[in-house]
Amino acid sequence: MKVAVILCNDMHMDIDNANQLVNRVKSTVGYEVVNDYTIADCIIILTCAFGPNKLYSMQVIADVCINKKKDAEVIVTGCLERLCKEELKELEKESKIKVKAFEEVLAKFNKPSINVQWIPQNKVIISTGCNHRCSYCVYPQFYGEYHSKSMQDILQEVSNMYPSESTIYITGAQETSDYGVDLYGKRKFAELMTRIVKGYPDCRYVIGWFHPAGLTDEVIELIGQNANIVEIMLHIQHSSPSILKSMNRPLFEDVDKKINALKRLRPDLIISTEVIVGYPGETESEFRGLVQYLEKGYFSDIGVASYEPVEGTKAAELPNQIEATVKQRRMRTIEQRFSATCYPAPEREMTEGSILGEYFLACHAIMQFPKNIIKASYRQKHAFIAGTDTAEKLQYVKEFEKVILVITNARSQFEQERAKKVLDVYTADAKRWFYEIIERGEFKDPVKNRAKSLLLEKNSLSQCERRK
């Protein structure tokens, strides 16, 4: 049986899950992992329910349902299954998909005798789950309490990567600083990192997803004494005491002191962070205070997210929700001033009961295009993980009018070269489809002739003419 695994985001925990699933499938007699989901007998979709990834996951499901083999089984799992069980019941009936917990999907296959990273990553994930209860985050509801890997297993993973990797990321699936609280009754991250850097010294290390509460004197001393720890991802989220209190995050004054201590010991240390703007009740003064704090220059890399309410969180029920235009403006301000990485909010929210509607909207959009619109060379595919050109299809559904405009306005040689570059990603079928749109439109003959020369390959013209 041919099995395709589709991953709807690139978060490291989800990559881990994908690797785990592919290992299971490949170790089970009678099963084969394939890249192309259109030839698979079973398609497993690892969904994401956070921000715009929720909508994208629905679009992937629609894409798969349209283009799969007639009798292929489609299994939906991941975050969407955890967050939207009731909503998915209706879709399950309508589209004949199966919605299952990730553990249930894994149970279909044997435990692997080997553990290979089918999607390569230089990350060692030391824990899953989270004990913190940030008011805006639903992650603990999905993945439960904090669970640490044993030091022995972690050291083995580092050992496996050590010969080939110059930089290794040591991170939790969501939280790193609490390492050991469940296994040893207290935080053991400093001890873990000490064993790693002493045992494998000829490597650089990045500490990821670190909660400021875990930045103890012991951890600060560890980083200060080991120059091969080159970066720490310390997520502060905000500088306003009132906002942080509402978020259920550590006090700003404490975090500021810790960052200053790090910079004194290690001026060369790269400190990256993430902040949230537009949190409920955030005033213009509090936003300016955040900007002023970032201007101190502590952080080499900044990520900024526009707050979006997530169903099931305390923050979603708070008054004084910020207007979308204000949130976008604040996010863009930080993006432009600090060259920050922007995590934009979706253009429109998926509201309760909208999943079926989003599914049919995606189906309608995808069905407007030929089955294979994008050239295979342009698709971003991980080894042994099924590729899907859903994102490309939907992008061009949204912007096809612009593409048509480029084609029909290509009068000069420069404009024609530009049009060719824009069209380079498309298959011959897609180009013929664009031409048929122009042919049926109210365009003058010279425009149609230009489109013909740009869009139709020599051997495809007769096919197009026969369709008329």
What are the extents of the domains in the chain?
A: 2-111+353-366, 123-343, 390-467
Looking at the domain 123-343, which fold is it?
pyruvate-formate lyase- activating enzyme (3.80.30)
How far, in Å, CA of 110 to CA of 23, rounded?
A: 9
Q: Which residue in 67, 186, 168, 152 sits closest to 120, CA to CA?
A: 168
pLDDT recorded at residue 242? 95
How far, in Å, CA of 176 to CA of 17, rounded?
A: 18
- What six digits make up the tokens of 124? 């060692």
- What six digits make up the tokens of 349? 């929210």
Residues present in the chain in total: 468
pLDDT recorded at residue 323? 93
How far, in Å, CA of 252 to CA of 129, rounded?
A: 25
Q: Which residue in 276, 273, 272 sits closest to 247, CA to CA?
A: 276
Residues 6+ apart with CB under 8 A from 1: 30, 31, 32, 41, 42
Task: Enumerate the β-bridge partners of residue 435.
Answer: none
pLDDT recorded at residue 386? 74
Residues 6+ apart with CB under 8 A from 363: 62, 65, 66
pLDDT recorded at residue 350? 42
Q: CB atoms < 10 A from the CB of 372, how many?
A: 17
pLDDT recorded at residue 177? 93
pLDDT recorded at residue 398? 66
Residue 374 DSSP label: B
pLDDT recorded at residue 458? 47
Hunting for tokens 């994208």 — which residue is that? 56
pLDDT recorded at residue 466? 37
pLDDT recorded at residue 462? 39
pLDDT recorded at residue 174? 81
What's the half-sphere exposure (Cβ side, CA atoms, 13 Å) at 157? 22
- Rounded to whole angstroms, what are the CA distances from 126 to 22, 86, 87, 448? 20, 32, 33, 60
Q: Which residue in 2, 114, 103, 93 sits closest to 46, CA to CA?
A: 103
Q: Which CATH class is domain 2-111+353-366?
A: alpha beta
pLDDT recorded at residue 347? 44
Can you tell me whether residue 99 is helix, strand or coil?
strand
The tens place of each residue's pLDDT in the chain, 468 residues long, gives: 999 999 888 777 788 888 889 999 999 999 999 888 989 999 999 998 776 778 888 889 999 999 899 999 999 999 889 878 888 888 998 888 999 999 999 999 988 877 777 776 788 999 988 999 999 998 887 778 899 999 999 999 999 888 888 899 999 988 899 999 999 999 999 999 999 999 999 999 999 989 888 999 999 999 999 999 999 999 999 999 999 999 999 887 788 899 999 999 999 999 999 999 999 999 999 999 999 999 999 999 999 999 988 878 999 999 999 998 999 999 999 999 999 988 764 444 444 447 888 888 888 777 777 666 767 666 555 556 776 678 777 766 666 767 787 888 888 787 788 788 888 878 887 788 888 888 877 778 888 888 888 887 543 433 434 334
The reply to whether 2-111+353-366 and 123-343 are identical in fold is no
- What six digits make up the tokens of 344? 């934009």
Task: Enumerate the β-bridge partners of residue 33.
Answer: 3
